[in-house]
């Protein structure tokens, strides 16, 4: 597998432009995107368990901690080490490791808040030692989600210094969905991962289903190294020649 399709989508509790909560509309948008991996934000995981339902309908694995409103990964590919982090002020981050043909990509699914002071705090924690500043991140990295900014807001400079922004289509606005003006939904990269193609779904169903439009990125991992997962203690361990690194 040389490339995979990744979608980032703020579903806003599946509340559409008409104020009606309709998970079926969001499901159809996700299905039309035909992504291998979907990073969702604003999923209702407490009352209706929307994430699990999406996974069942699409035949994808769902990774989500039950909560009133949170992030979720839907995936046809193996995801490991999925964890949730509180960024403070209502900001959340979900971390996972994606395995692609023996290669590994660190994934971060983020949802920030629009308040400038809160965003600054949340970005600082995102870049801190527990997440993007961790020494454990030795593989290519992708950070995607809803950054909740209208213009160049506080903390964006720090993001730009620590990561490189993924290429986007010429007209990349995703919010508000019915008349998009702001590119709040995007991705950042680090290491040997490349964006081959990017697009924003602008069809009428997407404009009606949520307050945000979904963005789709086709990514390619160019890291020549191969990584093997370390086995848990007590199980048989896989070994590699010393010339090839192991990514934990």
pLDDT tens sequence across 141-160:
999 999 999 987 778 999 99
Looking at the predicted structure, is the pLDDT value of residue 48 above 90? no
Give the integer Cα–Cα distance in Å for 159 and 123.
7
Task: Return the closest-CA partner of residue 74 out of 29, 105, 36.
Answer: 36
Q: In the predicted model, what is the mean pLDDT of residues 42-57?
A: 89
pTM for the full predicted model? 0.90
**Residue 1 pLDDT grade (very low, low, confident, very high; cuts 50, 70, 90):** low
The DSSP bridge partners found for residue 35 are: none
Task: Return the closest-CA partner of residue 169 out of 151, 192, 185.
Answer: 185
pLDDT reported for residue 129: 97
Query: pLDDT higher for 239 or 197?
Result: 197
CATH number for the segment(s) 3-221? 3.60.10.10
Give the integer Cα–Cα distance in Å for 173 and 167.
13
Looking at the predicted structure, is the pLDDT value of residue 238 above 80? no
């Amino acid at each position: 597998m040389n490339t995979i399709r990744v979608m980032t989508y703020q579903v806003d509790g599946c509340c559409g432009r008409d104020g009606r909560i309709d998970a079926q509309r969001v499901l159809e948008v996700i299905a039309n995107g035909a992504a291998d991996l979907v990073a969702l934000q604003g999923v209702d995981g407490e009352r209706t368990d929307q994430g699990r339902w999406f996974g069942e309908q699409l035949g994808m694995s769902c990774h989500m901690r039950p909560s009133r409103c949170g992030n979720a990964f839907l995936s046809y590919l193996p995801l490991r080490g999925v964890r949730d982090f509180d960024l403070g002020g209502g900001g959340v981050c979900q971390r996972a490791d994606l395995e692609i043909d023996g290669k590994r990509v660190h994934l971060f699914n983020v949802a920030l808040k629009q308040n400038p002071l809160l965003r600054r705090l949340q970005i600082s924690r995102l870049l801190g030692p527990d997440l993007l500043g961790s020494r454990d991140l030795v593989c290519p990295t992708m950070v995607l989600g809803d950054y909740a900014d209208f213009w160049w807001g506080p903390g964006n400079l720090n993001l730009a210094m620590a990561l490189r922004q993924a290429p986007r289509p010429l007209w990349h606005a995703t919010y508000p969905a019915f008349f998009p003006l702001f590119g709040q939904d995007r991705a950042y990269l680090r290491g040997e991962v490349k964006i081959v193609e990017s697009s924003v779904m602008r069809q009428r169903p997407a404009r009606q289903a949520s307050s945000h439009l979904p963005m789709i990125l086709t990514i390619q991992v160019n890291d020549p190294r191969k990584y093997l997962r370390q086995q848990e203690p007590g199980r048989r361990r896989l070994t590699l020649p010393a010339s090839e690194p192991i990514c934990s």
